[in-house]
Chains A and B, each alone.
Chain A
C-alpha cells in the first residue's frame, strides 16, 4: 500500500528539524484567556497581541457583545441550514443591509467565511471561455477560487501595472475578463496601485474584483478600503471582504452594483451548499459594521500607531516589507526560518505575539514576522512593543 501521506515527508522533516532545536512551536500557540483586543494570557503570561488583524478592536465592544447575546437568546445558537433553505434569519438580512449602507452599494451577499466568498464568487462568475488575470501574490482563497472554476488563469508580477495591461491586451477578442486584485496585500502590508490598475482593466473591457479584507474599516474616508482611498471604488465591480478582521467576528461577503448580482445566491456553490452563519455572529457583525462607519478618531489613532511602529523598528535596524507604512500591517523580514522562529520565540518570552509567516504563504520564499496593529493599542503599548523588539532582536542577533 502506498502511504498517501508520504508526500508530506519533506514538510514533516523540516518541522521536526526546527522543533529539535528546542524552539517553541510557532504554529501551536494557545491563548488561555483573552482580556481585550490587545492582551491575552499565553502560557500563563500576559501577552500583547500584535498579530490578530483585529484592526479596529471591535471584539470586546460592549454594543457588539450585547447584540450577539440578544440574538443568541432570540434566535438560538445556529441555523442548521443553507442560506437558500432554512438558514436565512432576520439578522442575516440585517447584516447585508448594514453592508449595503457601509459601502453605499446595491447588493450584498454574506458567506460563512471570507475564504468562501472568494472561492464562491471567483469560481462562479468566470467560466470556461473566460480569463482571470490576477496578481501573483494573491491570497490562497483567490487561487483556490481560480482552481475550482474552469477559466484560463493568467498571473502577472506583483503590483506591476504594465504587466497587467500587456496580458489584458493579449486575451483573445470577445473572451470574458476578470481582473482580481487586493487592496492591501497581507504578507508585506503593501497597497496596490488600484487607480492605475482599475483604469487599465476598464480600458480593456475587464470586470474588476478587489479583495479589501485588510483595509475595511481603516483605509479610505469611510473605511471602504483602498479603492475608496484612491478614488476608483465606483469602477470596481465586486468588493470581497471579511468579518474576521476589522469587523471582529467571522464571515465573508461580496458587495456589488451589478444589476444581476442576486442570481449568485442560486448558482454559487460555496454559498448554497453550506450552513449559514449563526445568528449571534451576524448580529455582532451588523452592529460592528454600523459602528465602523463612524470611527474616524480610531482610524487616525491606528495610522499613528502604524507610523510609530514602522519608524521605531526601522530605527532599531530591522528590515521591513515596505519603505513607508502603507497599512496596519508591518512585515519584519527575517534572514531565514531558523532565525525567524528564534526571534518569534524570544518575542513571545518578552510577552509579545506576532505572526511567523513562511513559504509558501510568503512571497519570494521569505520568512516574515508579521505585525498587525490595532486602533486600541495605546501609546504605552506601542512603546512596550518597541522595547520588546529591541531586547529580542539583540538576544537573537537579528540586530546589533
Chain B
C-alpha cells in the first residue's frame, strides 16, 4: 500500500472510536460539522494521532484542518 493510503487507513481507524454517530467517514468528512466533535474529543483524537505518527499537531495547524483528507495531507507533510 502506498504511504498516503496507509496513513488514511490508520487515520480512519483512529477516528472510529470517536465516531459516535456511526457515519460513513470519507476524506471529505469534516470533523466539526459532520462528526460533531467538541474541543475535548478533538484533543483526545489529536493526542492519539500524534502518538501513532510521532508528530506534533499544534492548535495553529488544527485551525487549518477541516476534513479528514486535509489531516492526512498534513500528516504526510509532517512525516516527510
Contacts and interface: CB of A to CB of B under 8 A. Distances in A.
Given A170-B50, A364-B40, A155 B59 contact: yes
Interface string A353-378: 00000000001110000000000000
Interface residues of B, number: 14
Contact of A152 (B38, B47, B60): B60
Q: By DSSP majority rule, is chain B's interface helix, strand, loop, or mixed? A: helix
B40 to A, nearest CB: 6
Contacts of B60: 152-153
A265 interface: no
B55 interface: yes
B53 to A, nearest CB: 10
B3 interface: no
B59 A365 contact: no
Contacts of A364: 40
Interface string A163-185: 10011001100000000000000
A112 B25 CA distance: 49
A154 B58 contact: yes
Interface of A: 131, 136, 146, 152-157, 163, 166-167, 170-171, 363-365
Given A136-B43, A170-B54, 13 more contacts: A146-B59, A152-B61, A153-B58, A153-B60, A154-B59, A155-B43, A156-B47, A157-B47, A166-B50, A170-B56, A171-B56, A364-B40, A365-B40
Interface of B: 38, 40, 43-44, 47, 50-51, 54-56, 58-61
17 contacts: A136-B40, A136-B43, A152-B61, A153-B58, A154-B56, A154-B58, A155-B59, A156-B47, A157-B43, A157-B44, A157-B47, A166-B50, A166-B51, A170-B56, A171-B56, A364-B40, A365-B38
